[in-house]
Amino acid sequence: MKVRYADIDLSTGQVRDYHLSEDIVRLYLGGKGLAAYILYQELAPGIDPLSPDNILIFNTTPLTGTGAPCTSRFNATTKNVLTGGIASSNCGGSFGIKLRRAGYDGLIIRGKAPQPCSLMVIDGQITIQDARELWGLDTEQTQHRFDRKYGCVVIGPAGENQVRYACAVSGERVLGRCGIGAVMGSKNLKAVVTYGTRSLPINDPETFRRDVQHWVKALHKNPTTGEFLPRYGTAFWMNIVNRHHILPTLNSQQVKHDQAQRISGEYMTEHHLTRNSGCVSCPIRCERRIMLDGKEIKGPEYETLGLLGANLGVTDIEWINQWNYQCDLLGLDTMSLGVTLSLAMELSQRGIKDYGLNFSQPENISIAIEKIARREEPFDELAEGSAWVAQKYDALSFAIQVKGLELAAYDPRQSQALGLAYATANRGGCHLDGGYPVYFEALGPIAVNGHTVRGKAALTVLMQNLMDAVSTSGFCLFTALGSLPAALFKFKENSFVPRLLGNIIISLPSTHWLWRLMPGLMPLNLPSFLPHPLIIRDVTGMKMTLGQFLQMGERVFNIERLFNIREGLDRQQDCLPERLVSEPAELDKPDTVVHLDKMLDTYYRIREWSNQGIPSPRKLKQLGIAN
């Protein structure tokens, strides 16, 4: 299985092919896994993420552009601006498809251009063009300068000014986390533009079409992917999260909001939705289209509604719609922004530092967003992220971040596996990179007890491996959630069957020897459960069992962990802010904290890592990770 990567030095203008052996491609396939391998090989330790020496990788997978469900996605990997460890970010849209049709599976970008530039990848030809006239434009204005047939990844003023949580924008979708936009800005890279007309290979077209048809039908039958997400978008989880008391409110001083319904997917659908939409080749169509000032735009996702909403004490969705669009134009990660703003508000509440920002007072937030993106006083220091601000004002105990990356809109104190997932996720406090175990503890049809630590280490390992396998293959992560049998949704919440299944899940064995045998213990494909390996086989010809699929995810998780270890991130950084481990989520329930210490050793044992969180040589050999 051959792939083609371009190695581009913006400092010199040199472009050459980058060789990857077929054996390596078979181990990692593409996406975040193959990109992590390249970054680990090519980037010297200790490099400043915003220096010209950092490397930025955009890449795809063999499935990108084939028409398989939910596979229009592409990946960006670099050294994380917020954490100093690995960064990976994922995005839908047409950019990745057009990159492959242009003749490339990935781009490895080094150096810094002497002046603002655009990287053009058009029909097999790569050129670096002057982009000084684009510098200063927002993301929408920038993309309008290019022909609509092109796929674009661009930055706005936040990226140009190297705000540490600046995102990159492609169409109306974003590479949201880890400061990808800041890295582009540090390289004077305003835009990457792709277009091509080449056909993409499929090994077994007839079987591929059959398997795709079956999977699309299954996704439509599943209530999560066939009903809730299309009808309400990701914000359909808002009322569920609030009901389970895991909604970060007022910088996680509280875990529910009485008016959360006013920022829910149901409310948006009733009062603001014009239609739903979706990524290329996506049958789920979870995107919200809304009107703002007479213009149809993409509406906010759950994370934005939670972290710029209840987290700030704001439940007027009109404000959040406006801030979301403003952030997209400026190129700001709404999640890191929301947590950084809530920290600033609590600093004001405590009388430590007054930024003129207060909970439940939305009037000054638009001004703050604009000034953060442009690094203007008094908000320039908020552009550094919550961890930097917290260190300056001795507020780390209530800065809701891990390793420097701000947490998602799920409070983990009544979702123990999620707390462990946040602490161990490779890119920092991320629910998705952490495996999204909250789906079993609160959001999905299986009632796993969120308060117990029993079985949570095993559940977290399994979900992290699964999500990394899904992501590195090029699938949307929602396809994993959509694989649960539709019949499970017919039972009432917390009734006998969901609780029974939940108890079975937390009885997963925590003995590492059994996990080491998993690829051999799962030799079959289960099309009705996880059809991903079948689609990989159809497209590439590479036979893959469910066990091998999960092992690929484990391999990806471990290579990213090795990168972090090399950069000085080990057990000491696998932690949570003090608020989450010592302040009960509910005052009348003193046990509602994350019991991280009770889970971390077991987690390391299952992964076959040392007590400092370092992968063992035996584990690396088993995974095919040499040296």
Categorize the per-residue pLDDT at 92 as very low, low, confident or very high, splitting at 50, 70 and 90.
very high
In the chain, CATH 1.10.599.10 covers: 408-623
What mean pLDDT, rounded, does the chain reach? 96
Q: What is the mean pLDDT of residues 576-602?
A: 97
Q: What is the mean pLDDT of residues 154-163?
A: 99
pLDDT at residue 613, rounded to an integer: 98
**Class of 250-394 per CATH?**
mainly alpha
Residue with more model confidence, 444 or 70: 70
Nearest to 29 by CA among 591, 592, 556, 564: 556
CATH topology of domain 408-623: 1.10.599
Categorize the per-residue pLDDT at 486 as very low, low, confident or very high, splitting at 50, 70 and 90.
confident
Q: What is the mean pLDDT of residues 290-313?
A: 98
pLDDT at residue 298, rounded to an integer: 98
Q: What is the mean pLDDT of residues 197-224?
A: 96
- Flag whether pLDDT at 142 surpasses 70: yes
pLDDT at residue 555, rounded to an integer: 98
pLDDT at residue 627, rounded to an integer: 63
Rg, the chain, Cα only: 23
Share of the chain above pLDDT 70, in %: 96
- Flag whether pLDDT at 316 surpasses 80: yes
Least confident window among 43-47, 497-501, 559-563: 497-501
Least confident window among 9-13, 490-494, 578-582, 583-587: 490-494
Q: What is the mean pLDDT of residues 174-178?
A: 98
Categorize the per-residue pLDDT at 500 as very low, low, confident or very high, splitting at 50, 70 and 90.
confident
Q: What is the mean pLDDT of residues 196-222?
A: 96
Residue with more model confidence, 92 or 529: 92
Task: Please count the residues of the chain.
Answer: 627
- Cβ–Cβ < 8 Å for 232, 265: yes
- Flag whether pLDDT at 51 surpasses 80: yes
Categorize the per-residue pLDDT at 79 as very low, low, confident or very high, splitting at 50, 70 and 90.
very high
In the chain, CATH 1.10.569.10 covers: 250-394
In the chain, CATH 3.60.9.10 covers: 5-195
- Beta pairing class for 117-122 and 189-195: parallel
pLDDT at residue 526, rounded to an integer: 57
pLDDT at residue 496, rounded to an integer: 85
pLDDT digits (tens, 9 = 90+) for 283-295: 999 999 999 999 9
The phi and psi torsions of 83 (rounded to 5 degrees) equal -110, -25
- Flag whether pLDDT at 64 surpasses 90: yes
pLDDT at residue 12, rounded to an integer: 99
pLDDT at residue 525, rounded to an integer: 60
Least confident window among 60-64, 529-533, 559-563: 529-533
- Flag whether pLDDT at 487 surpasses 90: no
Categorize the per-residue pLDDT at 446 as very low, low, confident or very high, splitting at 50, 70 and 90.
confident
Q: What is the mean pLDDT of residues 213-228?
A: 95
pLDDT at residue 55, rounded to an integer: 99
pLDDT at residue 519, rounded to an integer: 64
Categorize the per-residue pLDDT at 517 as very low, low, confident or very high, splitting at 50, 70 and 90.
low
pLDDT at residue 515, rounded to an integer: 58
Residue with more model confidence, 517 or 584: 584
pLDDT digits (tens, 9 = 90+) for 3-20: 999 999 999 999 999 999
Q: What is the mean pLDDT of residues 473-480?
A: 96
- d(Cα 68, Cα 279) in Å, to the nearest integer? 12
pLDDT at residue 514, rounded to an integer: 58
Angle at 420 between CA 501 and CA 345, to 5 degrees: 120
Assess if CATH 3.40.50.720 describes domain 5-195. no
pLDDT at residue 506, rounded to an integer: 82
**H helices then E strands: how many in the chain?**
28, 17
pLDDT at residue 513, rounded to an integer: 56
- Cβ–Cβ < 8 Å for 7, 15: yes
> Using a CB cutoff of 8 Å and minimum separation of 24, what contacts does 257-261 make?
257/310, 257/313, 257/315, 259/315, 260/309, 260/310, 260/315
Counting Cβ atoms within 10 Å, is residue 292 exposed (0-12), middle (13-18) or buried (19+)? middle
